[in-house]
Structure 1
Amino acid sequence: MTTTSKRKPFQERLDSFVQKLREQIMDGIYPPGSFLPPEMKLAELYQLSNKSVRKGLDTLVDEGLIVKINRVGNKVTGTGSKERIVLTLGCSPSIERDFALQQLLADFHAQFPTIQVKTIPISSGHPTVGNHNISTFKNFLENGIVDVLSLNPMYFGEFVENNCLELLEPVEQQPDIYPFLQKPFSYEDKLYVQPVVFSPMVLCYNKEHFRKMELPEPDSSWSWSDVVQSAEKLAIPGQRHGLYFHLLSENRWPLFMLQSGMTFQPAGEGETCELAGTKLLDNIKQVKQLVNNRTIFPGYLIESNDDVNQLFVEDRVSIIISSYLNLNEFKHTNIQFDVAPLPYTDYPATLLIIVGLAINANSPNKHAANLLLRYFATRRAQQKIREYTLSIPAYKPIAEQTGQDSKSLNRPSHYAMFREHLRSARVQRDLGLTDVHFYALRSLLKKYWSDMIDEDTLCKEARQQLKGYVLK
C-alpha cells in the first residue's frame, strides 16, 4: 500500500470530523457560548488521535467558529473575538421576500458575530438585450463589488455560454438538497450555485369565487380548455376577470413552449427552424386565444407580476399563474386561496424557478462567503425559510415535512402538492436555446401576440432569427 493510499482514509475522517462539527455549530446544536465535547471524547467518537483532533479544531479556530480557552476547553464563539469581516451579498429585490432574508441574516450574525453581511440590489439587464445580464454580473464580480451573488438557472447559463465560470467559485454539494435543483447550476460535474429555494409554476385561485359560482376547483386533470370554461363563468363584466398572468415574464411564456414537448436542437447545414405545422405553433396560437379573450383576460397594461398580484388581492381576478415565491405576497392576507397544478393540452410540463447563491471567485473573503452559503443550506436556515415564508426550501426533509407549519401564515391547503409534479418540472434552458436566441424568440412572440405580425410572418422570421436550430 502506498503512502498516499494510507493517508486518504485518515484525511477523509479528519475532513468529516471538521465538517460535522461545523454543521452542528451552524445548526445551533452547539450555540454561541457553549463548549464542544472534550478533545478525548471527540477523538474516541471520530476515531482520530488527540493530535488530529487538535488539528481539526485549529481549522474551526481559523474560521472564527470557536476559541480555545486554556485549561477550560473549546468555546463556540459569540464574543466577536476576531477581526470583523464584512461580506457583500448582491441580490434581486425579491430575495428579501423569498428568503425572509433579514430574519436569516440576523440568525447568521448571532452565530457568526465576526462576519457582517450587507446587501446591495442587483437588477438584471433588459430582457431584449442579449448578454446585458452577464455584463452586469461581470462588473459586480470582477470589481469586487459583491462577495456573494444570487442567481437563477437562466443567469447561470449565461456564465456558461460566455465562458465566465472562472468568476464563480465551485461549492460543495449538500446531501439533503434536492439533486434536481443542483443539476441546472452544475457544469462538468462541478456545482457553482447553492440552491436555497425553489418553486414550480402553478395555478393560484380564489376559493371563495369558485364556491360562490358553485364550480369545481382546479385539479391535475385540467386542460387549458377547462380553465377557459371556468374563467368565463367566474368573470363579472366591469368587476372581475377570470384569468390573468404576466405573459412576457421569463417565468410565464416559456412554460407554454415547454408544454409542446418540443425542443430546439442544433441543425445541420441547410436546415431551418420551421414552426409551421408543429405542436409548438399550436401552443403559441393557444396563448394568443387566451390573452385576446376579453371575457376572461383583462386588457390591462401590465408592467410586472406585482400588477397581477395586486388585482388578485383586490378581488378583480379569480385565477392567476403564479409561483410559491409570489404567494408570499398573500401570506399575511385573509384571501381564501389555494394552488393547483398547471393545466396542459398535450404535454404535462411546468416551469421550475430556482434561486441560489454563488461565491465570487475573486473575493478576498471566500472562506467567510462559504460559511454563509453553508448556513443557507443548513436544516436550521431552511426551517426558518419554511417558518417565515411560503417559498419551498431546497432542503428536502424540510420541504416535505408535514404538520409543523406556522399558523400565522396564510398557507394554501394544497401546499404539499408540489411533490407530486416534480417530474414534470423544467427550466428555460430545457428549450435548448442560447440566451440570445431565447430573447429573440420572446421578441417574435411578443409581436405575434400583439397582432403586429401574422402567423406566416412569425414562421418566416423564426427561420431567419433562429438559424442553426431545428424543432424536434
Structure 2
Amino acid sequence: MTKLRRRSTFDRRYERFVRSLRDQIVTGQLKPGDFILSEHELADLYELSRGSVRKALSELVSEGLLLKIAGRGNMVTYPRKGDIRLATIKLGWFSPSYELPVVRQLLQRFEERFPMLRVQLVPIPTPECVETLMEWNASETVIDVFVLPDFFFLRWVQQGWVHQLHPYLPEEMQREQSSYPQLLSMFQHDGVQYATPFVFSPVEIGYHRRMWENAGIRGPNPIRDWMGLVETARRCSIRTPDGECDQYGFCFSASRNRWPVFLLQNGGRLADADGTLLLDYPRNVEALRFCVDLMYQHRVVPVFSHGSNRLAEDLFMRGRAAMILTTYYFMNEFRYQGMDWDLYLPRWDAKRRHCCWATVWPSM
C-alpha cells in the first residue's frame, strides 16, 4: 500500500503532526476531556515552529476535535452530531478485483467505528493502472491510498515516476517482526521505502481430499520430488475410453506468480548479479522442460497457452483437477465452493534440491 502525493520536507512534518494528533483523537487514544501537550512541547516533538503548531491546532479546533481553553491549553472534545465535519480518504482498488464486495463491507465497519471519517472507494482500471494513476494525479484527481503490486512498483521506478509517491512506512511497524526483509526491499528505491507490504501470498499446492482417497494416495508426504508429483498426478488422472482426459491430476497457470516456482525449486535464476539475463541457464531449461513434459509427455496437466489464472482455478473448483498450484490470495475464491480440499505442506528436505515444495513465491 502506498500514497500518492508531492510534498516538501516541511509539508511532510506538518502533515505528520496533524495526522498523528487527529488519528489519536478519532481512534480514541486521546479521549474527550484529555489535555494535549503544550505548543512548545509539540513543536519540539514534531520539529515544527510554534507558529506552525498553532496553525495545525486551529485546524483541529475548527474540525471540532479540540477546544482551546484560555490559561489551560487545548482539550480533546467530540463535535456535536450536527457539527461533524467529515474527512474523506480516497482509496484506490483494482476494478476487476473479486475482493471489492469484501472491501466495501470492511469500509462500512470502519466508518461505523470512526464516524468522522469517510472512505471513497475508487476502482482503478487495469492493466494500465500506473499510467491511470499518473494521469489522475496530473489532473488533481489524487488517490490518497492505493494498493500497488510489486511489478507495478517496478514499472513506476522504470518510468522515472517514483518521486510522485509519498514514502510510506508506519512509524509503529517493526521491520524484523512485522514482515520479511525481502518483501520490504521489493518496494524500496535508492534506500527509500515507498510502500509497505501488507499482503504476502505464498504459492502452495492444494488438493481435493476425495480425489486423493479415490486414487489410494496415503501417507503424510506422497510428493517427495518432481517425479513424485508426476506419479501422484498420474494416479489422480481419469481418462475416458477414447483417451480424453475427464479429470486432470494437476493444474497450474502460466502466470508470473505460478510457473517461476519450478525455476526456484530447481535452483534456477533469470538474471545474474549484474542483471545479465540467464534464460539458457541449465537449471532453467530443466525446469521449463519439466513443465512442458507435464502437459505433453505425462499428460497430467491441461495445456495453457496464456497466463490467466482463471482456467486452472476454474478446473479445480469444478472438480476437474485433483491438485492445483495456487496462492493464499486466490484461495478466497474457494471459500464458498463447498469443496473438501486442503493444502499439501510437506517438510523441507535440505539434502534434495528438487524436493522443496515448501519454497514460496511472493504473489503481491
TM-score (norm 1): 0.56
The corresponding residue for 2:4 is none
Secondary structure of 2:238's counterpart equals coil
The corresponding residue for 1:178 is 179
Shift of 1:318: 0.8
Q: What is the distance in 2 between the residues matched to 1:57 and 1:179?
A: 40
The corresponding residue for 1:256 is 262
Task: Identify the range of structure 1 (171-180 vs 213-222) with the bigger mean alpha-carbon deviation.
Answer: 213-222
The corresponding residue for 1:311 is 315
The corresponding residue for 2:46 is none
Residues 1:317 and 1:162: Cα distance change in structure 2 (over 3 Å): same
What amino acid does structure 2 have at the position aligned with 1:264?
A: A
Pick from 189, 192, 196 the counterpart of residue 191 of structure 2: 189
Secondary structure of 2:186's counterpart equals helix
Q: What is the distance in 1 between the residues matched to 2:220 and 2:80?
A: 51
Shift of 1:327: 0.4
The corresponding residue for 1:68 is 66
Mapped contact 2:252–2:325 kept (Cα < 8 A): yes
Q: Max radius of gyration: which structure?
A: 2
Q: What is the distance in 2 between the residues matched to 1:139 and 1:250?
A: 27
Mapped contact 1:246–1:308 kept (Cα < 8 A): yes
Mapped contact 1:88–1:117 kept (Cα < 8 A): yes
1:26-37 pair list within 5 angstroms: 28-29=27-28, 35-36=31-32
Residues 1:307 and 1:58: Cα distance change in structure 2 (over 3 Å): farther
Q: Are 2:131 and 1:124 aligned?
A: no
Q: Name the structure where helix makes up a greater proportion of residues.
A: 1
Shift of 1:323: 0.5
Pick from 102, 105, 109 the counterpart of residue 104 of structure 2: 102
The corresponding residue for 1:164 is 161
Q: What is the distance in 2 between the residues matched to 1:24 and 1:85?
A: 15
Q: Are 2:134 and 1:143 aligned?
A: no
What amino acid does structure 1 have at the position aligned with 2:167?
A: P
Q: What is the distance in 1 between the residues matched to 2:100 and 2:219?
A: 27
Residues 1:144 and 1:300: Cα distance change in structure 2 (over 3 Å): same
1:177-256 pair list within 5 angstroms: 177-180=178-181, 181-216=183-218, 219=221, 222-238=224-240, 239-247=246-254, 249-256=255-262
Secondary structure of 1:244's counterpart equals coil
Pick from 320, 326, 329 the counterpart of residue 322 of structure 1: 326
Deviations 1:294-340 (A, max 9, x none): 64112467773222222212111111110111000011232111113
Q: Larger relative CO (CA 8 A, sep 6+): 1 or 2?
A: 1
Shift of 1:202: 0.7
Mapped contact 1:256–1:283 kept (Cα < 8 A): yes
Q: Are 2:351 and 1:345 aligned?
A: no
Q: What is the distance in 2 between the residues matched to 1:65 and 1:205?
A: 54
Mapped contact 2:167–2:194 kept (Cα < 8 A): yes
Secondary structure of 1:116's counterpart equals strand
Deviations 1:367-391 (A, max 9, x none): xxxxxxxxxxxxxxxxxxxxxxxxx
Secondary structure of 1:115's counterpart equals strand
Shift of 1:206: 1.0
Mapped contact 1:153–1:185 kept (Cα < 8 A): yes
Residues 1:166 and 1:275: Cα distance change in structure 2 (over 3 Å): closer
The corresponding residue for 1:5 is none
Deviations 1:4-36 (A, max 9, x none): xxxxxxxx9xx89984x666556x555xxx934
Give % identity. Answer: 20
Mapped contact 1:242–1:317 kept (Cα < 8 A): yes
What amino acid does structure 2 have at the position aligned with 1:214?
A: G
Shift of 1:183: 1.9
Secondary structure of 1:350's counterpart equals coil
Task: Identify the range of structure 1 (258-267 vs 181-190) with the bigger mean alpha-carbon deviation.
Answer: 258-267
Pick from 335, 340, 346 the counterpart of residue 336 of structure 1: 340
Number of corresponding residues: 318
Shift of 1:140: 3.8
The corresponding residue for 1:469 is none
Shift of 1:82: 5.8
Q: What is the distance in 1 between the residues matched to 2:135 and 2:116?
A: 29
Q: What is the distance in 1 between the residues matched to 2:146 and 2:102?
A: 16
Residues 1:96 and 1:234: Cα distance change in structure 2 (over 3 Å): closer
Shift of 1:142: 3.0
Q: What is the distance in 1 between the residues matched to 2:39 and 2:132?
A: 50
1:370-409 pair list within 5 angstroms: none
1:446-457 pair list within 5 angstroms: none
Residues 1:274 and 1:160: Cα distance change in structure 2 (over 3 Å): closer
The corresponding residue for 1:444 is none
What amino acid does structure 2 have at the position aligned with 1:121?
A: I
Deviations 1:128-187 (A, max 9, x none): xxxxx6544433443344413321111111222222111211113441531433221112
Residue ranges of structure 1 left out of the alignment (5+ in a row): 1-11, 43-47, 126-132, 355-472
Residues 1:318 and 1:67: Cα distance change in structure 2 (over 3 Å): same
Shift of 1:290: 1.5
Residues 1:214 and 1:80: Cα distance change in structure 2 (over 3 Å): farther
Secondary structure of 1:118's counterpart equals strand
Mapped contact 2:223–2:232 kept (Cα < 8 A): no
Q: What is the distance in 2 between the residues matched to 1:201 and 1:256?
A: 11
Q: What is the distance in 1 between the residues matched to 2:168 and 2:335?
A: 32
TM-score (norm 2): 0.71
Mapped contact 2:238–2:247 kept (Cα < 8 A): yes
Residue ranges of structure 2 left out of the alignment (5+ in a row): 1-12, 44-49, 241-245
